[in-house]
Amino acid sequence: MYFPRVLLQFLAVAGLSQAAQPRESSTVCTVPAAGSTSIDDAPAILEAFRKCGHGGKIIFTNTTYHINSVMNTTGLQDCEVDLQGTLLWSTNITYWLNNSLPVGYQNQSTAWVIGGKNLHFNGHGYGTLNGNGQTWYDFVGSVSNYPRRPHAMTVSGATDSIFDGVRFVRSQMWTLSIIHSQRTSFTNIYVNNTGESGTAHNTDGADTIYSSDITFRNWEVVNGDDSISLKANSTDILIEDCTFHNGLGVAIGSIGQYKDVYETVERVLVKNITYDNTLHVAYIKTWTGEQVGYPPNGGGGGLGYASHMTFEDLSATALRGPAFAISQCTTFSGASGNCTSSKFQLLDIVLKDIAGTSSSGEVASLQCSAVELCENITIAGVDLRFSNGTQIDDYLCGNVDGTFGFNCTGEVCVGSSATGGC
């Protein structure tokens, strides 16, 4: 049975993101709130960051701040953010579609980008970012990646930083995108992106891109999409002590979306997670080997690999699909795609010690590429049952080389998918 030693080493250093510690600030800026939906508080917020973003402290008092325009607060240093109130984003869809800030990946955009060195962002467990997302859920309908629909917050270029105790409710799209960041932790975070009616599409709890040494600890996510998703060049990622409700589970990907671009996901540890009514506990999705359209709603033909990933100590109630799924057949723009053509390889993956209930008869559905086979897959310590107590023991496989702890019991279904399975 294969258990990557590098993950044990990673655990020993995962705490290094805690290096940034709160300290006494020499300059304090308390942000005034105008108290009216018609008055934009963003300029006052930007001014506070300008004055106190280097060696200072920015305080949001226990009131509501109306955010009617984009905010770029990057380049900070040794800065504390004390969020005691609520930041409430406006519902002016026309403005946001015309002005949202580029994230730097998949043609995605954001309402607020924040970054710098040695930041400490404290929400105390009640400081809230409210994206007024119901307006967006109604507007986009079933369109997942609506162009220029903004993320709630993008952490860009953060190093040695801590984000703690923040609440996100009804985010406009993805809640938190993390890009070009290192040695940063996100702890005690609550996300609830449920809508008044139906499922809110593409409301991921968090997404990492081009980032390393990132810790997610003690998250609770209630949404209809990826609980936490690790995308291109996400390395040394720890996700632990979290609870996920109703969404898709932990996602690796999607990856391989950019033709001939080499990407990796490496050294990932997901442990002590509770799942409630999620589709999977974990799934991996890569684009097909042919480019069809362009991001965000098309692509394919990417290169690279995802390896040394362990998912352990998992408790699930009422899973809606296979606990673990691989689909190397992500393709959009209305195309069916060649499901065996992906050039992105998956290897050295461990899923162990999982118990609970599921409505699916499959523990795993592994639909891998014929071009780059999935290699060295370990699944062990599984006790999944139907609600009537019957053991679940099917493992469906396609193009898998090297199985440990389980035997493939049947052929996997082959078909286009962005969520695992067919």
Per-residue three-class SS string for 135-162: HHHHHHCCCCCCCCCEECEEEECCEEEE
Q: How far is CA 244 from the centre of its chain?
A: 12
Strand partners for 306:
265, 346
Candidates 3.40.50.300, 3.40.190.10, 1.10.3720.10, 2.160.20.10; CATH matching 5-411: 2.160.20.10
What pLDDT sits at residue 22?
52
C-alpha–C-alpha distance, residues 179 and 114, integer Å: 11
- Catalytic machinery residues: 225
Tens-place pLDDT, residues 280-300 = 999 999 999 999 888 888 889
Is 155 strand, coil or helix? strand
Instruction: Read off the pLDDT of residues 13-42 as tens digits, 9 standing for 90 and up.
Output: 444 444 455 555 579 999 999 999 999 999
How many Å apart are CA 76 and CA 57, to the nearest integer? 11
In single-letter form, the type of residue at position 133 comes to G
- Give the tens place of pLDDT for each residue, 138-173: 999 888 789 999 999 999 999 999 999 999 999 999
Phi, psi (rounded to 5 degrees) for 376 = 60, 70
Distances (CA, A) of 380 to 250, 362, 403: 18, 14, 10
- Cβ contacts of residue 97 below 8 Å, gap of 6+? 147, 148, 149
User: pTM, whole model, 2 decimals?
Assistant: 0.94
